[in-house]
Amino acid sequence: MLDELLVAFGVSATVIPKMWAKPENSNESLRNPDRAPGLSAIHSTLEMYKKQLLPGPRLDTLSDTLLGHISNLMPLYDGSFGQGSPTRVLSLKDFCASVLVDALTRTLFGEHIRNLEPNIVQCLLDFNDDAWMLVFKYPQSANSKLNVARNRILKGFVKYLDSPEHVRLGKSWLIDEVMKMLSNVDINNKDRAAMLLMIYWAANINPYKLAFWMLTYILFDSKLHAVLREETSHAYKDGEIDVTYLMAECPRLDAVYLEVLRIVNTALSARKIVAPTPLGDKVLRSGNTILIAFKQLHSNQAVYGVDPMHFDPDRFLKDKNLKNSSSYKPFGGGVNYCPGRFLAKQEMLVFVALVLNRYNIRLATQNSDGKSMSQPQHFPKLDMFTPALGVNGPIKGTDVWVELGVREGTSLA
């Protein structure tokens, strides 16, 4: 499964065996001390993910960088740039996507990647829209939106890898180490670029869509909006958010995060059965694949009641153990348990808290050209038509339009 995906992302089929090969002697481990001895390049990459993303100093550095970029980039995308108007109407989908994907791009690769492919954020968003076609092998033409976006990103990454080390400033530990390790096992820049795309994609499939849904649920419920703004205001000072306070002292925001993640995460966990495995009164036979569908798990009526898709902002407040239930697995579990879950939570809470505190934000009643909307906006429907790889967006062609004004006394960069 993974091999096919690697090839679809651009890794040459002939290189795959080299990626899985275990080092034959200790030289490779010596050349690259962070590479665990005896691990193939693929397994080393997964280990490096964990070293970067599980709690510890490397995660702290990464999250400081990411949260700093989010804070600094907001003014670039909030529509205030170059405009005198105190309020403006924005697409919530575009706002969340632009800020969050741009911030993660700079956090992973540093600023230089944007000189080489200035449109990389839009390319990633285009790629994401149709990435399910790669995963499910849906036929598409050479000049499809997906292929064009993938090829532009790959070209940008090859140029990035060809650049001298001293211009690739500000990149993350993960990118640095994975690139060195792959170079040490003689993987060329084209194939290394495809691995970069894989990392870039994994980090960006879900967060901007989750942020969209969190803000949508909040904006459609004025009482909840007021409660969360009050709760998070204690973490907000001089235009910035105190992450430690936010993570520890904002239970209502935490409960909204958990509940939205439950409702909009429509992914599957897939595992190859490699040995006969007893499960209840059945035995799963080797050679088959088992799928765990989050949507079904997260709508288990025995756990979530007769109307399980109902959004209850207090659900996880009322039952503190619910997040540990076997019917709640938004980040999967076991060997492939999402290592990005700690970073993702900080990213979401900080982004939402910044939006609620920096801006006066509400559902727009006018279009961006100033004309009144003929009717109030409807709550958007979750896209259940596009095959899911994680959090899905709203049905194609729908969005939420928001009216945004910078709050008085808020000093933005």
Q: Which is nearer to ligand HEM, 74 or 210 (CB)?
A: 210
Per the DSSP assignment, residues forming a β-bridge with 382 are 394
User: Which DSSP string corresponds to 22-62?
Assistant: PPSSTHHHHHSTTSPTT--HHHHHHHHHHHHHSSSHHHHHH
Say if strands 282-284 and 401-406 run parallel, antiparallel, or are unpaired: unpaired
**If residue 285 lies in a helix (H) or strand (E), which one and from where to where?**
none
297: helix, strand or coil:
helix
* Cβ-based nearer residue to ligand HEM, 89 or 322: 322
Reference 79, options 67, 95, 65, 100; nearest CA is: 95
If you ran DSSP here, which 8-state letter would residue 396 be given? T
Nearest to 52 by CA among 60, 40, 44: 60
| Minimum CB distance to ligand HEM smaller for 53 or for 356 | 53
Q: How far is the CB of 53 from ligand HEM (least distance, A)?
A: 6
In the bound state with ligand HEM, the residue whose beta carbon lies nearer, of 86 and 333, is 333
Which residues are bridge partners to 292 per DSSP? Answer: 269
Nearer to ligand HEM, 174 or 363 (CB): 174
Minimum distance, C-beta of residue 342 to ligand HEM, in the bound complex (Å): 9
Contact 322, 328 (CB under 8 A): yes
Closest residue by Cα to residue 401 from 224, 216, 235, 132: 216
Minimum CB separation of residue 405 from ligand HEM in Å reads 28
Minimum CB distance to ligand HEM smaller for 80 or for 392? 392
Q: Which two tokens stand for residue 291?
A: 């799928």
Query: To the nearest whole angstrom, how small is the minimum distance from the Cβ of residue 332 to ligand HEM?
Result: 2
Residue ranges binding ligand HEM (CB under 6 A) = 46, 49, 53, 202-203, 206-207, 210, 265, 267, 269, 330-333, 336-340, 343-344, 390-391
Task: Give bridge partners of residue 89 from the DSSP assignment.
Answer: 403
Residue 177 CB, nearest approach to ligand HEM (Å): 14
Q: Closest CB to ligand HEM among 187 and 267?
A: 267
H helices present in 220-314, as ranges: 222-233, 243-249, 251-264, 294-297, 301-304
Token pair 């429509």 in the structure block, residue: 266
Could you tell me the smallest distance in angstroms from the CB atom of residue 198 to ligand HEM?
A: 9
Q: Is 364 helix (H, G, I), strand (E, B) or coil?
A: coil
The minimum distance between CB 82 and ligand HEM, in angstroms, equals 31
